[in-house]
C-alpha cells in the first residue's frame, strides 16, 4: 500500500474521527478528454494523480437528474412503470428526468418532470435527499423531492419509452415491503422510499 501524503493523512484523520460524512477531496486532473459523445450522455476519460501515481478512469459525464416522490391525500405514493432497454424490463420508478436545461434549478426540473411524465402539479415541495447514483462509474448527482398537494395539469404528449408509461398509486408501506422483498429494484425508488419511510417512522 502506498504511504499517504501529508494531505492524505489529514483527510484520513477527518474521516475516522469527525462526524460521519463524505469528504470532498478531488484529485488533481492532468488530462481530460471526451472519449465518447452519446445521444443522452457522454463518456469522459480523466488522468489524475493519486497515491503518487497517474491513474486513468473513464466515466459517464452526467448532467445530473431529479426524481419526485409524490404522495396523495391518502398517503399513497405515485409510481410509474417504464421500459428500460439496458435491463430489458418494465420497471417501477418515480417520475424523474435529466437536468438537461442549462441553468435550470433542480426544483424547477422536478416540477417540469412531474408535469411531463404524469400530468400533475404539486403545491408543497420538500427536498428529501441528494445522492450519487453510481460514483464508481458516473458523476451523476440525483436530487429527490417530496411533493404533495397534487392537482391535474394539461396532458403532455409523450414519445418513445415514455409513451407507454403506466401509473399506479400504492401505500408507502406496500412499496417498502416490495423493495425489501426484492420485487422492486430501481435504485432511485429504493433510496427515496426507504428515506421517506425512515423520516416518517
Q: Tell me the catalytic residues.
A: 162
Would you call 199 helix, strand, or coil by DSSP?
helix
d(CA 125, CA 69): 10
Please give the torsion angle defined by the CA atoms of residues 133, 177, 77 and 146, in that order, rounded to the nearest 10 degrees: -40
In the 8-state DSSP scheme, what is residue 89?
E
Please give the torsion angle defined by the CA atoms of residues 102, 117, 147 and 136, in that order, rounded to the nearest 10 degrees: -60
d(CA 22, CA 29): 20
Amino acid at each position: 500500500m502506498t504511504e499517504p501524503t501529508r494531505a492524505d493523512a489529514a483527510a484520513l484523520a477527518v474521516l475516522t474521527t469527525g462526524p460521519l460524512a463524505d469528504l470532498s477531496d478531488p484529485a488533481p486532473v492532468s488530462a481530460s478528454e471526451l472519449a465518447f459523445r452519446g445521444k443522452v450522455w457522454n463518456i469522459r476519460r480523466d488522468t489524475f494523480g493519486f497515491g503518487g501515481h497517474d491513474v486513468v478512469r473513464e466515466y459517464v459525464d452526467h448532467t445530473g437528474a431529479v426524481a419526485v416522490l409524490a404522495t396523495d391525500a391518502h398517503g399513497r405514493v405515485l409510481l410509474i412503470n417504464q421500459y428500460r432497454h439496458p435491463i430489458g424490463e418494465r420497471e417501477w420508478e418515480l417520475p424523474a428526468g435529466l437536468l438537461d436545461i442549462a441553468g435550470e434549478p433542480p426544483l424547477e426540473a422536478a416540477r417540469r418532470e412531474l408535469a411531463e411524465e404524469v400530468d400533475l402539479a404539486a403545491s408543497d415541495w420538500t427536498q428529501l435527499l441528494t445522492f450519487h447514483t453510481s460514483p464508481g462509474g458516473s458523476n451523476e448527482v440525483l436530487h429527490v423531492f417530496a411533493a404533495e398537494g397534487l392537482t391535474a395539469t394539461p396532458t403532455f404528449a409523450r414519445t418513445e419509452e415514455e409513451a407507454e408509461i403506466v401509473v399506479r398509486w400504492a401505500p408507502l408501506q406496500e412499496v417498502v415491503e416490495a423493495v425489501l422483498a426484492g420485487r422492486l429494484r430501481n435504485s432511485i425508488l429504493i433510496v427515496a422510499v426507504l428515506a421517506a419511510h425512515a423520516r416518517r417512522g
